[in-house]
Amino acid sequence: MAVITLTTDFGTRDTYVAEMKGVILSIAGDVHVVDITHEVAPHDLLEGALALEAAAPRFPAATIHVAVVDPGVGTARRGLAVASRDQMFVGPDNGLFTPFLDGRRWRAWELRAAEFRRAEVSHTFHGRDIFAPAAAHLARGVEPARLGPPVTDPVRVKSPALQVSEGRIGGAVVHVDRFGNLVTSIHADAIASLGSGVTVRVAGKSLPLVRTYGELGRNDPGALVGSRNRLEIAVNAGSAAKTLRAGRGTPVVVSRISSPAGSRARRRT
């Protein structure tokens, strides 16, 4: 059975998500539709991209991911189908699929063919009228090249660049989850390059790097590599965002801790 996922900023109060599901099931009634999240902050492309980055790799090959965070709906921005990492991604060409556009192992097509969209297309709801139908037709076996011409220059969303120097990595908070954990732009492999002894500085505080939340005292802040394989700042049984008064864009620095022997050697010189 084909799998189609949905990621949007629509919330669940209105009928938008249900309308998309209705269109999908009307075209491909035997698909399995999975909600990744509909609580992306309105118009927040980076948050949508990070949600896909975290969730998509957990799905089986050939999964079709529909993502709609689309402040440019109805404008000249393109609709896309992207094939990457043995999966498909369908949505607006505005940077949502940035995590899957690394290297050369991807292909993209513009959603231009009228036969794979609804007969009437709203200027304000391409999720229902263009992206959902395209995903359903892909699930039925339509080749992505039939959707429209190839695209070689998809839009990419910018995220904070790492500042790397000897014994030090600088990044920033890119997401605050519902627990108040501060997810950063610093990946685990970058931290590993510094060795086993590091300290993390954020919002004027130096924090220990631990393995689990439980290694921290209750309401104490610390840093750890989270399930997204990124450095996170957390407070045991509390909110790091509130405790540290930090949010997206707050700088984060990981530094190597000098060994006592190295410190003595420097004092002797």
Read off the pLDDT of residues 152-162 as tens digits, 9 standing for 90 and up.
Answer: 999 999 888 89
Tokens of 19: 């309308």
In CATH terms, 163-261 corresponds, of 2.60.120.10, 3.30.70.260, 2.30.30.90, 2.40.30.90, to 2.40.30.90
Tokens of 40: 């992306």
Nearest to 19 by CA among 143, 133, 173: 133
| Three-state SS at 9 | coil
Tokens of 230: 């990124």
**What is the model's pLDDT at position 215?**
95
Does the predicted TM-score (pTM) go above 0.85? yes
Read off the pLDDT of residues 27-74 as tens digits, 9 standing for 90 and up.
Answer: 999 999 999 999 999 999 999 999 999 999 999 999 999 999 999 999
Q: Sketch the domain layout of the chain as residue ranges.
A: 3-151, 163-261
Query: What pLDDT band is residue 268 in, cutting at 50, 70 and 90?
Result: very low
Average pLDDT, the chain: 94
**What is the model's pLDDT at position 166?**
87
204 Cβ neighbours under 8 A, 6+ residues apart: none
Read off the pLDDT of residues 180-216 as tens digits, 9 standing for 90 and up.
Answer: 999 999 999 999 999 878 999 999 999 999 999 999 9
Report the C-alpha gap between 88 and 81 in whole angstroms. Answer: 7
Q: Which residue has the tokens 């009307």?
A: 26
CATH class of 3-151: alpha beta
Nearest to 58 by CA among 85, 96, 24, 93: 85
CA 93 remoteness from chain centre: 15
Report the C-alpha gap between 160 and 162 in whole angstroms. Answer: 7
Report the relative pairing of strands 64-68 and 3-8 from DSSP bridges.
Answer: parallel
